[in-house]
Each structure stands twice: as C-alpha cells, then as structure tokens.
C-alpha cells in the first residue's frame, strides 16, 4: 500500500511539473533527469516520433530551397558553379545559416567556414549525432550533389520537431567547407581538417590557387580571418560525435535501375592519385625512323592500358582505375612527343588490394621506360587515403528505418568519396543514398525527384531519432 501511495505521489508530481513547467524555471530537462535518478523510473521513454505518419516532409519548401540555392552560381542555369570563398559561395553560406536559424538551431562556424547548427537534446552532455554534407559545386555541375545532404538534414530536423520528437543526444547539422577540390586542388578540405590533418594545416599555409591567391587571403576575403593562422583549432577530438550520417544522391545508376528507394552504404572506396611523367628525345614525325624513336607518348599509352589490366586482374569489381589526364609535349601533330604526363586515379574498398594495384602500376612504368628507352622522371603518389567502413550500428538503424517506413533498400558501397570518409576518423559513420536520374552527377542534368528526396529525408530523420536515443 505504501509503495502504491509513493508511486501515486511521484506520478502526480510528474504531471504537475509537465503541466506547469514555468514554476520550475527553464531547465525542465534537468528537473526531469533528477526525478528519473531519484525514482529509478524513466520519465523520458525512448519513443520515436509520435507516429510514423507524423514524419511529414515539406517537399515543396525543400525543393524551393534547392532551387533558390542553385541561383547562387557563377554559371547560368541549369548549371551550377559555386567555388570555395567566391562571392556566390559566401551568399550560399548566408542562406544556409539563415535556414538553420529559422529552424531554431544554434549556429556557429569554425576558422575555415565549416558551419554547424545545433539542436540541444535533453542530455546535452552526451556526444551529439551529426549530419550534413556540402554545397560547393564544381564548374557547370548540378544542384543536388551535396545540397540534398545539407538542406535535407535541416528539413529532417524540422520533420522531427513537427512530429513532437525530443532528442536525448543533441542533433547537429553541418555544412562542410570545400568538399570539391576545384579551387585549391584539395578535396574534402573542411572534413580533412576536422579529422585532424596536421599535414593539410601546414600545406594550406603555402597553398595558392590558379590566380596565385593564397588560401589565407581567400578565406579572409570570405570573412574567415584567422589571426594566428593556426588551423589546428578546427581539429576535432576522436569521439567528439556519437555518430555521423550523410544523406546523398547516389551519383550512380543502380538504385534507379533497380527501382530501389534507399541505398544503405556499407563502405566508401578511397582513392589514390598518382602522377607519372615519361621523357624521351622527341623529333620530327617524318624524319625519325621508327626503330630509333624514344616516344614518351607511346610509353604513356602503354601505361594507360597497363592500369586497366592491373585493375581487372585484381579479381574484384570494387577495384577501379582511371587515367583522367594525359598531356603530350609539344603537342603538335608532326612532332614525336618528348614528354608525356599522366594522372591516375585508382580506388577500392580494400586498401591492401588497391595498394597492390599501385605497386603493379609502378613496376609497369619502370618496365615500359626501360623497354622504350625513355626516362621515368616522375612517379608520385599524391594521396593514398584509406577506405572507410560504415558502422554497423548506423547501418542497422538505417535499415530498420527503411523497414518501418516500408521503403525498399539495399546495401551498397560508395565508389565516389565524400566527407564521410574523413568523418569516419572522428566518429562512427554511415551514409544514406537516394536515386538520381541515370546516375548523372557533376553535370547540369543531375536530378533527384521530390519523392526520392522526401524518402531520403524521412529515413534520415528516423535514423537520427534512433541514434539520438542510443
């Protein structure tokens, strides 16, 4: 009887607090937490949004925001060009910050312009859950790459707020600085720094763009003056976040072809970039006899085919290689190339397999140079980032969200790399893919339907809710 009376008093007190929160001041969360600890009973039950039907995406507004953001461009519609720290980039940043504030998020920026918008949970001392992407765009690209992951993240927060959900862990939205390498030749600049790249922080002190404008001057022109020039203040400690989830268009054709709503990313293939230069004697295209030639161009052509062979010989469809740049000097139709420069991209989700391909490419370059009597004057591995695996707890949360929302899904890898690759060094990571038209990306025809975007936002919202309550 005494126990029942105690429970009655406790429940009555709880209802009194909930009905008249002003009596106890602003920090209702601390009051409830104290009563939870005192009673041993959870007051904040780990419920998801009131009902799945309450996860309502404002698709018209979201599409309007995507269209409005696309107007901040240095190229005419339907293309988008938005380069780091340019006037249009600065306008886009202001637009994103305004949307964050309108959604009730606390906004802050770091020294390079990574933008954060925080929704405090009722246990704010716990590591938050982070979500977001980027909005910079390579020249003459489309309006969905990265943008869906930023505007979609803000809308996911709005979806949860409208549903009545209260996060336990804080939820935070991020817009990363410079995922694209367009201006300074460095991809995922913001997330690499967040992951603590000392090498990059030092490199940026002497980095200039094609107009010989330094990174420091460019960042200052955009309002990110760092008096000390010490970018280490951007670095995050490992474990700063409980989880990071990125919503993104697939940038490939698989989901659309199969009619699948959601891709649950299990791994991100990381690239290695290689620069190779052969040098020969050159000469007149008519006068120099074939047996006496030292043709740097043919050496480069042979190496390009060797790249294809080594990739195919790996035995895995996940190994890919591309010779994206091949330049010949002097570049005249009647002149034997005296120099050939190649830039090679090779990727795999298996780091050791990818590195074996790189070693085989190197051995081929040496053998070709010897056979063709040219000089291998350069073989530089520019970057060799490790791949990243998605965290199982995040992929499970995403799969469960898809099931609860009755959306078809499949596990898949990302062959393009994203800021998630580097955020995996800070916290557990996961990615959510939505279909895009014919897999098009980095071109004006890039497109995802309103329905597919809404599905992605719902899955993201529910995944964030689950992770927040973990």
Instruction: Verify that 209 and 300 share a domain, yes or no.
Output: no
The pLDDT > 90 percentage for the chain reads 84
Q: What is the pLDDT of residue 39?
A: 39
Q: Work out the mean pLDDT of the chain and round it to a whole number.
A: 90
Instruction: Verify that 173 and 131 share a domain, yes or no.
Output: yes
Number of domains into which the chain is organized: 2
How far apart, in Å, are the Cα atoms of 463 and each of 53, 156, 407? Answer: 15, 10, 13
Instruction: Verify that 251 and 278 share a domain, yes or no.
Output: no
Mean pLDDT of 137-166: 97
The side-by-side arrangement of strands in the sheet containing 270-279 is 320-329, 339-348, 270-279, 375-384
Q: What is the pLDDT of residues 235-283, one digit of tens each?
A: 999 999 999 999 999 999 999 999 999 999 999 998 899 999 999 999 9
Boundary residue ending a domain (384, 407, 438): 384
Is 156 a member of any domain?
Answer: yes
- Cα-Cα end-to-end distance for the chain: 35
Residues 6+ apart with CB under 8 A from 415: 252, 269, 318, 320, 347
How far apart, in Å, are the Cα atoms of 188 and each of 32, 97, 220, 440? Answer: 41, 20, 19, 21
Domain of residue 283, CATH code: 3.30.70.360
Residues 6+ apart with CB under 8 A from 224: 85, 109, 111, 112, 113
Residue 370: CB atoms within 10 Å: 10
Boundary residue ending a domain (384, 405, 438): 384
Is 336 a member of any domain?
Answer: yes
Is 50 a member of any domain?
Answer: no
Instruction: Verify that 155 and 281 share a domain, yes or no.
Output: no
Instruction: Verify that 343 and 218 share a domain, yes or no.
Output: no
What is the distance between the alpha carbons of residues 156 and 154, in angstroms, rounded to a whole number?
5
Angle at the Cα of 160 from the Cα atoms of 158 and 163, rounded to 5 degrees: 110
Is 21 a member of any domain?
Answer: no
Angle at the Cα of 337 from the Cα atoms of 332 and 338, rounded to 5 degrees: 125
416 and 251 in contact (C-beta within 8 Å)? yes
Q: What are the residue ranges of helices labelled H in 164-295?
A: 189-194, 198-203, 215-221, 254-258
Instruction: Verify that 364 and 462 share a domain, yes or no.
Output: no
- Single out the residue of 319, 318, 470 nearest to residue 392, CA to CA: 470
**Please, which pLDDT band fits residue 225 given cuts at 50, 70 and 90?**
confident
Q: What is the pLDDT of residues 99-115, one digit of tens each?
A: 999 999 999 999 999 99
What is the distance between the alpha carbons of residues 166 and 414, in angstroms, rounded to a whole number?
32
Is 159 a member of any domain?
Answer: yes
Instruction: Verify that 380 and 392 share a domain, yes or no.
Output: no
Instruction: Verify that 308 and 423 share a domain, yes or no.
Output: no
Mean pLDDT of 2-19: 42
269 and 349 in contact (C-beta within 8 Å)? yes
Is 28 a member of any domain?
Answer: no
Q: What is the pLDDT of residue 48?
A: 58
* Dihedral angle sign, alpha carbons of residues 257, 258, 260, 265: negative
Instruction: Verify that 295 and 330 share a domain, yes or no.
Output: yes
Instruction: Verify that 237 and 340 share a domain, yes or no.
Output: no
- Does this model's pTM top 0.85? no
Is 53 a member of any domain?
Answer: no
pLDDT at 5 over 80: no
Which of helix, strand or coil describes residue 413?
A: strand
Q: What is the pLDDT of residue 15?
A: 44
Instruction: Verify that 244 and 357 share a domain, yes or no.
Output: no
Q: What is the pLDDT of residues 311-350, one digit of tens each?
A: 999 999 999 999 999 999 999 999 999 999 999 999 999 9
Give the residue numbers spanning the domain of 277: 271-384
241 and 129 in contact (C-beta within 8 Å)? yes
183 and 83 in contact (C-beta within 8 Å)? yes
**Please, which pLDDT band fits residue 53 given cuts at 50, 70 and 90?**
low
Annotate 146-179 with three-state secondary structure. Answer: CHHHHHHHHHHHHHHHHHCCCCCCCEEEEEECCC
Q: What is the pLDDT of residue 270?
A: 83
Instruction: Verify that 91 and 131 share a domain, yes or no.
Output: yes
Q: What is the pLDDT of residue 383?
A: 85
What is the distance between the alpha carbons of residues 207 and 461, in angstroms, rounded to a whole number?
39
pLDDT at 31 over 50: no
Is 354 a member of any domain?
Answer: yes
What is the distance between the alpha carbons of residues 92 and 82, in angstroms, rounded to a whole number?
9
Boundary residue ending a domain (354, 384, 414): 384
What is the distance between the alpha carbons of residues 340 and 299, in angstroms, rounded to a whole number?
8
Mean pLDDT of 34-56: 54
Domain of residue 233, CATH code: 3.40.630.10
Q: What is the pLDDT of residue 16?
A: 39
């Amino acid at each position: 009887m005494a126990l029942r009376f105690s429970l009655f008093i406790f429940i009555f007190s709880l209802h009194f607090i909930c009905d008249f929160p002003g009596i106890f001041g602003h920090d209702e969360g601390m009051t409830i937490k104290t009563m939870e600890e005192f009673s041993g009973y959870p007051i904040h039950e780990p419920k998801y949004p009131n009902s799945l039907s309450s996860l309502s995406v404002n698709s018209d507004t979201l599409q309007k925001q995507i269209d409005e953001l696309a107007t901040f461009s240095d190229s005419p519609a339907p293309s988008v060009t938005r380069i780091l720290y340019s006037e249009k980039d600065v306008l886009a940043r202001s637009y994103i910050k305004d949307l964050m504030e309108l959604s009730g998020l606390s906004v802050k920026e770091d020294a390079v312009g990574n933008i954060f918008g925080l929704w405090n949970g009722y246990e704010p001392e716990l590591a938050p859950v982070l979500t977001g992407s980027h909005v910079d765009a390579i020249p003459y690209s489309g309006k969905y790459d990265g943008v869906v992951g930023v505007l979609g993240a803000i809308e996911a927060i709005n979806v949860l707020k409208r549903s009545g959900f209260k996060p336990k862990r804080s939820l935070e939205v991020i817009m990363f600085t410079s995922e694209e390498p367009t201006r300074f030749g460095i991809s995922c600049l913001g997330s690499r720094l967040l992951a603590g790249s000392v090498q990059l922080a030092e490199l940026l002190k002497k980095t200039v763009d094609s107009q010989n404008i330094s990174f420091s001057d460019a960042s200052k022109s955009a309002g990110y003056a760092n008096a000390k020039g010490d970018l280490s203040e951007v670095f995050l400690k490992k474990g700063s976040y409980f989880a990071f989830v990125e919503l993104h268009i697939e940038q490939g054709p698989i989901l659309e072809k199969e009619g699948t709503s959601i891709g649950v990313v299990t791994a991100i293939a990381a690239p290695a970039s290689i620069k190779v230069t052969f040098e020969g004697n050159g000469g007149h295209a008519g006068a120099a006899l074939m047996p006496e030639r030292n043709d740097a161009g043919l050496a480069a052509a042979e190496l390009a085919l060797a790249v294809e062979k080594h990739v195919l010989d790996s035995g895995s469809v996940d190994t890919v290689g591309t010779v994206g740049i091949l330049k010949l000097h002097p570049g005249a139709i009647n002149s034997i190339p005296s120099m050939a420069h190649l830039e090679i991209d090779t990727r795999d989700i298996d780091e050791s397999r990818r590195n074996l391909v790189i070693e085989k490419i190197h051995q081929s370059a040496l053998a070709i140079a010897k056979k063709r009597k040219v000089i291998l004057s350069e073989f530089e591995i520019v970057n060799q980032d490790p791949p990243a695996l998605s965290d199982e707890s995040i992929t499970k949360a995403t799969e469960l969200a898809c099931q609860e929302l009755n959306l078809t899904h499949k596990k898949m890898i990302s062959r393009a790399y994203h800021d998630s690759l580097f955020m995996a060094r800070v916290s557990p990571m996961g990615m959510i893919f939505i279909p895009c038209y014919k897999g098009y990306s980095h071109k004006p025809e890039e497109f995802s339907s309103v329905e597919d975007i809404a599905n992605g936002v719902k899955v993201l919202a529910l995944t964030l809710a689950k992770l927040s309550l973990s």
